[in-house]
Structure 1
Amino acid sequence: MRPHRLLFLLIFVLLSACGSRAPDYVPGLPRQFGDAAPYDWRGRNVPAAYAIHGVDVARYQSNVDWYGLRAHGVRFAFVKATEGGDYVDPMLGRHLSAARAAGVPSSGYHYYYFCRTAQEQAAWFIANVPRRAGDLPPVLDMEWTPTSKTCRRRPPAEEVRQDAATFASIVTAYYGQKPIIYSTVDFFRDNEMWRVPGVEFWLRSVAGHPSEVHPGHDWTFWQYTGTGLIPGVEGRIDINAFRGSEQEWATWLALRQQR
């Protein structure tokens, strides 16, 4: 059998094993991804312009074929780990171990509540997410929680930034890497999160490029849809882009993976 025919058959078998067909093409997105509610991407500042894409998952993605995601271009994953000071996502261990087994660099993220101290929440995250060589940096997810049944507190911006800095300092000492801070559009603006020193940002912006939605501010990861469709996962999933080329991704990994 000719080599190119063998390669085609291997790819066909692999994609068939993922159990779902490629999604319909959405202009502006990488061709291997779809979107259940796509934004009307236009111009050059579109997700498809970036080489490296990944996902973030939680208990809502209960059936994930990580080998299938990797085959369709998923290069990294952020996995929901903890909330506040007393909750652990029930899919944490399963998602992390499966992503690692499939060769998808990953790490856990902590969802912050303003009704416990930063010290308590950092300790809770550390207690539930062991340090592991090769993992990505930990992530701190900070956003307002208006629908929470237990904590809707909205402290002043200075307190928010101090909490972020305190959490970052504690987890940096344990994992050997500064956390990435995830933030939504309103939270990032309300609290001037760019004033938190020495951290990288993962910014949500599902209706425009970060240069338009967060003008003048730096970012490393961009969450560009919360309704993504990828063969290998049932239902909708968040999809993200890394700000850089293949070579810049390799350099970033070499500097930022845990040791």
Structure 2
Amino acid sequence: MKSKNTRTSYNRKTKKKSTVFSTKFFGNLILVFLFFAVLSIAYHYRSSFAHYLGFKSNLNNDTNVFSEARNLKVLEKNNGKVVGIDVSEYQGKVRWSYVDTIEEKYPLHYVFIRATVGNDRVDRQFKRNWLGAKENKMIRGAYHYYRPNENSLEQAELFIKTVKLKKGDLPPVLDIEKLPKEQSIERLKVGLRRWLKAVESHYGVRPIIYTGEKYYDDFLKEEFGDYLFWIANYNFYREEIQDDWLFWQFTEKATVPGIDYNVDVNVYNGDLQQLQYITVE
């Protein structure tokens, strides 16, 4: 007969083996799931991957083939809607005469250009980009990067002083991405309202609000529903623009002729004639 200690030792070994088996089983199950997930994604983007891996010879070391393939898929899905970009000093010196299409197939009709940041800084490339986009016959718009902890009216004054909108330009844009550190969400919303009203009063046109989808859902959708929104969402599973978005920034990692760095690409929720309809008169 086995002793008590022997039975206890045997039970421990059995439990240990069972635990190891369970861990390996679930680990293998996860690997199988990941394999089929990758296979599914590869199949979904198969035509785009073939385009980049089989026919592109000018890819540089910074090119993310998966991102580029997904970008191409989004453009295909939103065919008929107007495509544009947005730039700032982070794109360096843009050679505007070369900025025309993506993949020599999708024309770039408009550009949003960062003008100001907070209450004290003008984008270093704003003037050059503002003039270059106009010379390149692109519909242009200017945006302000809002700093939550700085005076909203001072920020509006800097934007107004910097940006001279002309007929055919897009409405001004308020870019809000950060949460405040020194004030409540309610005070932030008061500041946003002040900026929006001051800018609308000066230009005679209602501004557009740019933000991320989660920020939009959590803080802005209900109380700022009287404004039009430009939403950033880079999730690979989203391939078409939402009905209630005016613009959709679907990537921050695209390659565009005339620009040496990655650039954001946007889809407007309409055709060219509809885009021209919302410009400044």
- Fold shared, TM-score > 0.5 on shorter chain: yes
Residue number in structure 1 paired with 2:92: 62
Contact 1:39/1:206, CA 8 A, preserved across alignment: no
Contact 1:107/1:137, CA 8 A, preserved across alignment: yes
Residue number in structure 2 paired with 1:167: 195
Relative to 1, partners in 2 of residues 1:110 and 1:243: Cα closer, same or farther, differing over 3 Å?
same
Answer yes or no: is 1:95 the counterpart of 2:129.
Answer: yes
- Tell me the TM-score normalised to structure 1 length: 0.74
Identity %: 27
Answer yes or no: is 1:251 the counterpart of 2:251.
Answer: no
Residue number in structure 1 paired with 2:67: 38
Greater relative contact order (CA < 8 Å, ≥ 6 in sequence)? 1
Contact 2:268/2:275, CA 8 A, preserved across alignment: no
Contact 1:229/1:236, CA 8 A, preserved across alignment: yes
The amino acid that maps onto 1:236 is N
Answer yes or no: is 1:239 the counterpart of 2:261.
Answer: no
Question: For the residues of structure 1 that align with 2:182 and 2:131, how far apart are their CA atoms?
Answer: 35
Question: For the residues of structure 1 that align with 2:158 and 2:48, how far apart are their CA atoms?
Answer: 40
Instruction: State the shift of 1:237 in Å.
Output: 0.5
Q: Give SS of 2:170's match.
A: coil
Residues 1-259 of structure 1 aligned to structure 2 (within 5 Å): 26=48, 36=64, 38=67, 41=70, 46-50=74-78, 51-72=81-102, 73-144=107-178, 153=181, 155-207=183-235, 208-209=237-238, 218-244=244-270, 246=271, 249-254=272-277, 256-259=278-281
Question: For the residues of structure 1 that align with 2:257 and 2:96, how far apart are their CA atoms?
Answer: 10
User: Based on CA coordinates, which of the two structures has the bigger radius of gyration?
Assistant: 2
Contact 1:158/1:191, CA 8 A, preserved across alignment: no
- Tell me the TM-score normalised to structure 2 length: 0.68
Contact 1:164/1:196, CA 8 A, preserved across alignment: no
Instruction: State the shift of 1:63 in Å.
Output: 2.8
Q: Give SS of 2:128's match.
A: helix
Count residues with an aligned counterpart. 217
Residue number in structure 2 paired with 1:9: none
The amino acid that maps onto 1:209 is R
Describe the superposition over 1:1-24 as per-residue Cα deviations: whole angstroms up to 9, x where unpaired: xxxxxxxxxxxxxxxxxxxxxxxx
- Structure 1 segments of 4 or more deviating over 6 A? none
The amino acid that maps onto 2:100 is R
Instruction: State the shift of 1:115 in Å.
Output: 1.7
Q: Which protein has the bigger helix share? A: 2
Contact 2:251/2:264, CA 8 A, preserved across alignment: yes
Q: What 5-or-longer segments of structure 2 have no aligned partner?
A: 1-46
